[in-house]
């Protein structure tokens, strides 16, 4: 199975590297959203610092929707969805492979956004391990849910517009948990970020488990 | 045992019966031409045999797998050339063939050999397929099929988009596959050409088989189905 996971993830990452969609479109979009948040809050540095966690994760989720749509647009073109079904690769391996490729892309995007936030909003970090752990766990949750809903949306005729409507409500727990944990890590709100991280981890486990089980059904029937 | 065994098979596209009670048996080592007008059900029959289309009713057994219960198992043993290319635009010819070969348990060496078998210009090997002509993309799709070395070949208009040399290569591939013990179903409108590689003609109309005739002078090799059935390209 892990051979197939590496095969699928490697294929997706190679295509992204070759097409430069992630670097040429998704990353600029993400930075643009950060800048627009700055405009919307009238460049109020106190407000921007206070809400850095929420603004950061909203930006990540919007950008992730683009990356997920791109990931499954590859499979919708030229009958590749049928080709994947014909390949004999276990659906769970396809799920983990595509989710892994998304995790890699999202991590790179989050690093870029982190740099953007540091420059534009000027927050201070008080608990770096919590920050990194939250980003890692939340990224796995976003990638798992995104892969599951990506294959569901890819089978529909309205796939270009339906994905955000389906996916963003499902990712609300990730947004809430990651924002609260970031608030603690950045010292903007007095909450126990590690408790929120634990809740975030539980959410990610549910998404991964459900995705691995349900992906094959959705690949077949949607 | 038949490689393809269908009895009163009905398959639906939405509510439309694309196959409306098909009876068909295809033995190991046969090359069968499927002919019929547009919308007759040729492509649906190939997709059913590939495990991509579920039977709504009837008895459908392909390579020993009951399609009503287990379509995934049959997919590992069939290769399909469809109207769609089954290729990733941003990957090169080699990367596409290698990816699908490895997904089927093959090796990069088999991918290289398949590309050589299709006589794809070596200068095109590392070019993203999005930049290739229709004919070269078709050859790449055929190379994927060869690299997978299926036991059952399902070819939908295999000569479409190919030049004369490419068409000759397709004919050679079918003959080699049959010689190696594989079974081939070819849906085609190019009847004169395909009759030279097939041993039997099935006519489909309205989702049912309306005629089943051997081609005079073409013998039907019968033997046990191989583990992997394509031409030995490695």
Quick one: pLDDT at residue A22? Answer: 80
Q: How confident is the model at residue B10 (pLDDT cuts 50, 70, 90)?
A: very high
Q: Whole-angstrom Cα distance, residue A71 to residue A95?
A: 12
Q: Counting Cβ atoms within 10 Å, is residue B78 exposed (0-12), middle (13-18) or buried (19+)?
A: buried
- Report which secondary-structure segment, H or E, holds A6: helix A2-19
pLDDT of residue B222: 44
Q: Pairing mode, if any, of strands B4-13 and B16-26?
A: antiparallel
B162: left (phi over 0), alpha (psi -120 to 50) or beta: beta
* Closest CA of chain B from A11, distance in Å: 8
Number of domains within chain A: 1
C-beta atoms of A78 and B87 within 8 A: yes
Task: Tell me the C-alpha distance between B185 and B174, whole Å.
Answer: 10
Q: Give the Cα separation of B4 and B64 in Å (integer).
A: 8
- Calpha distance A38→A58 (Å, rounded): 13
Of A7, A18, A86, the CB nearest to B52: A86
Residue B205: phi and psi, rounded to 5, are -150, 135
Contact B91 A18 (CB under 8 A): yes
Interface size A-B, in CB pairs within 8 Å, comes to 66
Selected residue of A13, A88, A157 to mutate for chain B interface (largest B Cβ count, 10 A): A88
Using CA of residue A122, residue A128, residue A132, residue A133, what is the dihedral sign?
negative
Sign (positive or negative) of CA dihedral A86, B69, B4, B176: positive
Look up the domain containing A160 and give its range. 2-221
Compute how many other C-beta atoms are within 10 angstroms of the C-beta atom of residue A131.
19
Is A190 an interface residue toward B (CB < 8 Å)?
no
- Residue range B13-38: mean pLDDT, rounded: 90
Lowest mean pLDDT among A39-43, B43-47, B185-189: A39-43
- Residue B223 confidence class, pLDDT cut points 50, 70, 90: very low
**Taking the domains of chain B in order of start, what are their residue ranges?**
4-86+150-214
For position A23, what pLDDT does the model report? 83
- Residue A151: CA count within 13 A, CB half-sphere: 28
Calpha distance A175→A64 (Å, rounded): 12
Task: Encode pLDDT of B111-160 as tens digits.
Answer: 999 999 998 888 888 999 999 999 999 999 999 999 988 999 999 999 88
Q: Which residue in the set B51, B83, B90 is minimally distant from A18, CB to CB?
A: B90
CATH topology of domain B4-86+150-214: Rossmann fold (3.40.50)
Distance from CA of B106 to the nearest CA of A (A): 11
The predicted pLDDT at position B218 comes to 64
The pLDDT confidence band at residue B225, using thresholds 50, 70 and 90, is very low
For chain A (length 222 residues), average pLDDT per consecutive 10? Answer: 92 91 88 90 83 93 93 86 89 95 95 92 90 96 95 80 90 94 88 91 95 90 63
What per-residue confidence (pLDDT) applies to B55? 93
Give the distance from CA B145 to its chain's centroid: 8
């Amino acid at each position: 199975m892990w051979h197939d996971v590496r095969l699928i993830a490697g294929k997706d990452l190679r295509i992204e590297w070759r097409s430069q969609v992630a670097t040429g479109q998704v990353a600029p979009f993400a930075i643009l959203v950060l800048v627009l948040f700055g405009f919307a809050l009238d460049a109020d540095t106190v407000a921007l610092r206070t809400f850095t966690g929420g603004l950061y994760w909203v930006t990540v989720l919007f950008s992730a929707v683009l990356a997920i749509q791109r990931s499954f647009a590859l499979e919708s073109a030229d009958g590749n969805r049928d080709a994947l079904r014909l390949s004999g690769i276990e659906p769970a391996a396809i799920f983990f492979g595509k989710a892994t490729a998304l995790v890699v892309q999202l991590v790179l995007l989050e690093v870029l956004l982190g740099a953007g936030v540091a420059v534009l909003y000027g927050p201070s970090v008080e608990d770096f391990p919590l920050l990194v752990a939250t980003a890692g766990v939340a990224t796995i949750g976003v990638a798992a849910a995104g892969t599951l809903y990506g294959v569901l949306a890819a089978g529909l005729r309205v796939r270009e517009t339906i994905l955000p409507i389906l996916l963003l409500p499902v990712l609300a727990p990730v947004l809430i948990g990651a924002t609260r944990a970031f608030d603690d890590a950045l010292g903007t709100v007095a909450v126990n970020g590690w408790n929120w991280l634990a809740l975030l981890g539980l959410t990610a486990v549910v998404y991964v488990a459900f995705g691995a089980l349900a992906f094959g059904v959705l690949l077949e029937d949607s | 045992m038949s490689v393809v065994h269908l009895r009163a098979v009905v398959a639906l596209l939405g509510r439309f019966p694309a196959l409306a009670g098909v009876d068909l048996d295809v033995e190991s080592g046969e090359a069968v031409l499927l002919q019929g007008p547009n919308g007759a059900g040729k492509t649906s029959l190939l997709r059913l045999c590939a495990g991509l289309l579920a039977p709504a009713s009837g008895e459908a057994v392909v390579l020993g797998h009951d399609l009503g219960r287990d379509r995934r198992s049959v997919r590992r043993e069939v290769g399909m050339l469809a109207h769609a290319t089954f290729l990733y635009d941003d990957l090169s010819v080699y990367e596409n063939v290698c990816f699908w070969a490895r997904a089927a348990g093959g090796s990069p060496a088999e991918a290289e050999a398949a590309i050589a078998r299709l006589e794809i210009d070596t200068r095109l090997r590392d070019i993203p397929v999005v930049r290739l002509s229709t004919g070269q993309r078709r050859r790449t799709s055929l190379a994927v099929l060869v690299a997978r070395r299926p036991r059952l070949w399902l070819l939908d208009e295999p000569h479409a988009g190919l030049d004369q040399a490419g068409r000759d290569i397709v004919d050679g591939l079918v003959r080699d596959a049959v010689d190696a013990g594989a079974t081939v179903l070819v849906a085609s409108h190019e009847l004169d050409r395909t009759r030279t590689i097939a041993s039997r003609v099935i006519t489909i109309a309205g989702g049912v088989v309306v005629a089943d005739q051997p081609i005079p002078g073409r013998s039907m090799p019968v033997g046990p189905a191989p583990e992997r059935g394509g031409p030995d390209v490695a």
